Amino acid sequence: MKKNARFNTKLIHAGVEPDPTTGAIMTPIYQTSTYVQEAPGVHKGYEYARTQNPTRNVLQQNIAALEGARFGIAYSSGLAALDTILKTLSPGDELLSTNDLYGGSYRLMRKQYEKYGIKFKFVDMTNLDELKSQLTESIKLIWIESPTNPMLRIIDIAAICNLVKNHPAKVCVDNTFASPYLQNPLNLGADLAYHSATKYLGGHSDVVMGLVATSDEQLAEQLYFLQNAAGAVPGPQDCFLMLRGIKTLHVRVQRACDNARQMALALQNHPKINNLYYPGLLDHPGHDIARAQMRDFGAMLSFDLKENTMAAANEVLSKTQYFSLAESLGGVESLIGHPASMTHASIPKAERLKVGLSDSLIRLSIGIEDEADLIEDILGALE
Ligand SMILES: *Cc1c(COP(=O)(O)O)cnc(C)c1O
C-alpha cells in the first residue's frame, strides 16, 4: 500500500499482504498457540501466541493506519482494552471523564479501580469551563466519549486537547459510536483512540473485541507490555472476522448514516415524540461541533415520548419487526433498546434524569436495511 493511500483504500489494504507461502489474498487464521524454534531463541519472530500472532499483527497494523497512528493494539473486548489503559495509571492518579459515560466503562472505573487508589471525576464535558475548573495536576488521563450513549451529546475533542496541551494528562477518546470512518481523534489532538470494535468496526454482531491506536511510543510500549503480561488478547479467528468486517466499514457506516438521516426527518415533529436526539439536526446543541469533527452524524438516534412512561416505551419496543430488541449497536441489522431498563438500569433514576435519560427514552441503532422499511417499522410501532 502506498504511504498516501486514502482512508477507503486503507480499510482494505493497510497491513494486509498476500500470504508469502501460498499467495492467499486473505490473511490466514494462524490458529496456533506456539511456534517451532530452530534452536533456543532462533525463530521467525514468533514464540508464543499471547505475545505475537500473525493474524492479530495484521489487524493491529490496520487499525493503526485507520486512525493515522503509529501503533495499534488489540484486546479481547472493549472493556479489556479499557482495563489495560487503566493499568497504566498509579495510585493517586485521577481520571476525568464525562458524566454520561458508557455504563460498562463507569462500572470498571468505580467498582474496580477506585479500590486501587485511582480517583475518578465525572463532569459535563460539553461545558469547557466546568472541565477547566476540575483540571488539577493529579489528573493523568482524560477520557472522552463522543457522541455519547444514549443522549448523543457531542464533545469538542479538539477544544479539550487544546485546553490540556500544557498539562501532563493524556487524552483518550472512546471512538466507538463514530468509528474511524467518521472521526479520527488523533488528528484532533488526542493521544489515544479507543474502540469497542464489537460495534461498527466488526459490524456484523459476531465478534467482541477492543482496539486501541496511538502514536505515543511510551504509551504503546506499556500497552503492548500489558497485552502480553496480562493476556487479554483476541483469538486469531476473531482477528480474521474483524479484518473482514473492517473492509466494508465505509460502505456500511455511510449507508447507516444515510438511513439515520432519513429516519430523523421522518420522526421530526412526530406528535408522539417529545425529544429527538440526533446530532444531524440543526437545533442539536452539538451540531456545529459534530459537523467540524465528524464526516457525518452517525447512525445512532434516540427519542423519548410525550407519554413519558416505561409502559409507553415498552409498547413501541414490542411492535417493531425489523428493529430487534437488543443491547449493542453498529451491526448491519437495526436494533432498538430501552436504556432506562437495559444498558443504564444500574444508574439511579435521579442521576439518569439529570442527563435527560427519561423513562420513555428509546435508542435506535440504524442498520443498512432499506430505509423505507425501517421508517415504516418505527412509524408503525408509534401508532
Ligand atoms: C460496547 C461499548 C464499550 C465496551 O466494549 P465491549 O467490546 O462490549 O467490551 C465501550 N464503550 C462504548 C461506547 C461501547 O458502546
Q: pLDDT-based confidence at 355, cuts 50/70/90?
A: confident
How many Å apart are CA 257 and CA 263, to the nearest integer? 10
Q: Which ligand 1 atom sits nearest the alpha carbon of residue 149?
A: 13
Q: Say whether domain 249-382 belongs to CATH 3.90.1150.10.
A: yes
Active site residue 295: no
List all residues 6 or more positions away from 213 whose beta carbon is below 8 Å from its beta carbon. 63, 64, 66, 67, 69, 71, 72, 73, 186, 192, 193
Rounded CA Rg of the chain: 21
CA nearest 317: which of 295, 292, 334? 334
User: pLDDT, tens digit, for every residue of 163-194?
Assistant: 999 999 999 999 999 999 999 999 999 999 99
According to CATH, the topology of domain 7-246 is Aspartate Aminotransferase; domain 2 (3.40.640)
What are the sequence ranges of the domains in the chain?
Answer: 7-246, 249-382
Three cell numbers written together for 281: 439536526
Ligand 1 close to Cβ of residue 198 (< 6 A): yes
Best of 82, 112, 176, 302 to mutate for ligand 1, by most ligand atoms within 8 A of CB?
A: 176
How many Å apart are CA 248 and CA 370, to the nearest integer? 17
How many Å apart are CA 156 and CA 146, to the nearest integer? 8
* Residue entry with cell 454520561: 100
Active site residue 174: yes
User: pLDDT, tens digit, for every residue of 102-118?
Assistant: 989 999 999 999 999 99
**pTM score, two decimals?**
0.97
Burial of 170 (0-12, 13-18, 19+ CB in 10 A): buried
Best of 76, 82, 102, 107 to mutate for ligand 1, by most ligand atoms within 8 A of CB?
A: 102
- Beta strand pairing call for 324-325 and 71-75: unpaired
User: pLDDT, tens digit, for every residue of 282-295?
Assistant: 999 999 999 999 99
Calculate how far, in angstroms, residue 329's C-alpha sits from the geometric centre of ligand 1. 9
Active site residue 238: no
User: pLDDT, tens digit, for every residue of 254-283?
Assistant: 999 999 999 999 999 999 999 999 999 999
Q: Which residues pair with 190 in a beta bridge?
A: none
